[in-house]
């Protein structure tokens, strides 16, 4: 079920999608998360389902700590966030070649990096022939 952004239940939908995303980034099943926080599988399944299920701030706090994700990240609304651009430009530090990547892809990779304690935007090997340089975000303010 989809809720309007003006509906108070909308935040439950946002949080449920984020819990599912971070759980999957960890490679955990719903059962594994349930076991780690000492809640039932049906509780986790209910949170991640398309139906409205309320939960306490305490439960949300426990989930965020177990997933090792800041509490605020679980409440982050990626559906309506104002991303400044649809792509971010990367530039090779060696040859100067510029490459555009979808902002959402870089955002997802950054979140994946954060689960291992790396808070930097990802960098990549240059794809230009005969260049062994690395490409980095040209303007991190775009992100």
Contact in structure between 49 and 19 (CB atoms under 8 Å):
no
Query: CA torsion, points 109, 96, 125, 107, in degrees to nearest 10?
Result: 0
- Residues forming beta bridges with residue 92, ordered by sequence position: 135
Question: H or E element: which one contains 126?
Answer: none
Taking only the tens place, the pLDDT of each residue in 63-96 is 999 999 888 888 888 655 544 457 888 899 999 9
Tell me the CA end-to-end span of the chain in Å, nearest whole number: 30
pLDDT of 142 strictly over 80: no
Could you give the CA distance from residue 143 to residue 139 in angstroms, rounded to a whole number? 8
Please give the model's pTM, rounded to 2 decimal places. Answer: 0.56
Taking only the tens place, the pLDDT of each residue in 16-49 is 999 999 999 889 999 999 999 999 999 999 999 8
Q: Quick one: fold of 10-74?
A: 434 Repressor (Amino-terminal Domain) (1.10.260)
- For the chain, the structural domain boundaries read 10-74, 87-142
Q: Work out the pLDDT band at 105, boundaries 50, 70, 90.
A: confident
Average pLDDT, the chain: 83
Q: For residues 5-14, give the mean pLDDT.
A: 78
């Amino acid at each position: 079920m989809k809720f309007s952004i003006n509906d108070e239940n909308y935040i439950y939908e946002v949080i449920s999608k984020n819990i599912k995303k971070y759980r999957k980034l960890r490679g955990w099943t719903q059962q594994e998360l349930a076991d780690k926080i000492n809640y039932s599988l049906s509780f986790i399944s209910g949170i991640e389902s398309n139906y409205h299920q309320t939960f306490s701030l305490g439960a949300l706090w426990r989930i965020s700590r177990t997933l090792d994700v800041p509490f605020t990240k679980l409440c982050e609304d990626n559906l309506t966030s104002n991303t400044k651009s649809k792509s971010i430009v990367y530039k090779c530090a060696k040859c100067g070649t510029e490459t555009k990547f979808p902002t959402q892809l870089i955002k997802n990779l950054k979140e994946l990096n954060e689960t291992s304690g790396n808070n930097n935007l990802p960098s990549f090997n240059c794809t230009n022939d005969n260049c062994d340089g690395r490409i980095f975000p040209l303007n991190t303010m775009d992100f």
